[in-house]
A and B are shown apart, each in its own frame.
Chain A
């Protein structure tokens, strides 16, 4: 099925470092959602974006809805061990019911 291009696929960082990941698409979306999934659990919504250019924060997390509506990024500042997991972007386009998912970014943090 259709997917967003999410990068990087994996990241290995030191605790305390900042993290940045992004998703791009050839299609225009009107909603971008960022999720985190821990092993063996369902995805948990981190941030939802509804307007082009929107910049939203949730604690140490910041995400932006790209002006072109074809991309979004997620930043994590001052990473901590509990940030480990897989991060997925997902998008909805006008009138669509189904989410389109990125391939996921697997974040590993070295203490």
Chain B
């Protein structure tokens, strides 16, 4: 199957600083990438959808100035948590949708996730 890689897998940052998480599709081109946040024992909560070369679409309640998303190429999307606070500590997961037509274009693959701890 297709591979989506996230980096870093774990990051600790000080309150007030910014931290960037990268999401790469390693063996396919992803026109659309998604960023999720997951709280313990809960399902994934979609934060935003990013399309290559255009602005991200944020879900209701997600602050776009706090969670900056850039999808500069067909293989890379980044999530930057700005002015991080302890309540931003969470598991962040990206996913990518292929460009293929038919079934493959409807298959979405997830990255390994990134643990963010803000101290």
Q: Do A and B originate from a single complex?
A: yes
Residue of B nearest to A4 (CB): B43
Q: Is there contact, CB below 8 Å, between B43 and A104?
A: yes
A68-111 residues at the B interface, CB under 8 angstroms: 88, 90, 92, 97-99, 101-104
Closest to B107 in A: A48
Instruction: Name the prevailing secondary structure of the A interface residues.
Output: loop
Q: Is A42 an interface residue (CB 8 A)?
A: yes
Contact of B108 with A33 in the complex, beta carbons under 8 Å = yes
Residue in A42, A88, A97 whose Cβ sees the most chain B Cβ within 10 Å: A42
Which of the residues A33, A44, A97 comes within 8 Å of B107, measured between beta carbons? Answer: A33
Task: Give the residues in chain B near A92, CB-CB below 8 Å.
Answer: 106, 108
Q: Is B68 an interface residue (CB 8 A)?
A: no
Contact check, B44 vs A101: say whether CB atoms are below 8 A apart. Answer: yes
Q: Chain B: interface secondary structure? A: strand
Interchain nearest-CB distance for A49 vs B (Å): 9
Q: For A97, what are the chain B residues with a Cβ–Cβ distance below 8 Å? A: 32, 49, 97
Contacts of A3 in B (CB 8 A): 43
Q: How many positions in chain B have a CB within 8 Å of any CB in the partner chain? A: 26
A53 at the binding interface (Cβ < 8 Å): no
Contact present for A103 and B43 (CB under 8 Å): yes
Count A-side interface residues using an 8 Å CB cutoff.
24
* Closest chain B CB from A104 CB (angstroms): 5
Measured CB to CB, the closest approach of chain B to A10, in angstroms, equals: 10
Q: Once the chains bind, are A41 and B112 in contact (CB under 8 Å)?
A: yes
Beta-carbon contact of A98 and B107 below 8 Å: no
* Residue A31 at the chain B interface, CB threshold 8 Å: yes
Q: Which residue of B lies closest to A3 (CB)?
A: B43
Which A residues are within 8 Å of any B CB, using their own CB?
1, 3, 30-31, 33, 35, 40-45, 48, 50, 88, 90, 92, 97-99, 101-104
Which B residues contact A (CB, under 8 angstroms)?
A: 1, 4, 6, 32, 34, 43-46, 49, 59, 91, 93, 95, 97, 102-103, 106-113, 115
Complex A-B, nearest 7 residue pairs according to Cβ-Cβ distance, in ascending order: A50-B103, A42-B113, A31-B106, A42-B110, A43-B110, A42-B112, A42-B93
